[in-house]
Amino acid sequence: MKTNVGGIDKILRIVVGIALIAMAALGVVGVWGWIGVVPLLTGLFGTCPAYSLLGVNTCPMQKSE
């Protein structure tokens, strides 16, 4: 899969994912908090299937040489 998640987007996904998982593990939120796995993985892998379907790309353009 092509990378379609850029820098700030990637960082926000990872932070939100970790926060949701931590809150679910500590019992602050319900079981739905485990949905944090999705933004965590999309941030770590740098690709988002929903972005691919919608044609969105937050990754900076690469220079063509």
Each residue's pLDDT, cut to its tens digit, for the chain (65 residues) gives: 788 999 999 999 999 999 999 999 999 999 999 999 999 999 999 999 999 899 889 888 754 44
pLDDT of 15: 97
For 17: left if phi > 0, alpha if psi spans -120 to 50, otherwise beta; the answer is: alpha
**Cβ atoms 51, 57 nearer than 8 A:** yes
- DSSP annotation of 59: S
The answer to whether residues 60 and 6 touch, using CB atoms and an 8 Å cutoff, is: yes
- Give the single-character DSSP code of 60: P
- Predicted TM-score (pTM) of the model is 0.84
Domain borders along the chain are 7-54
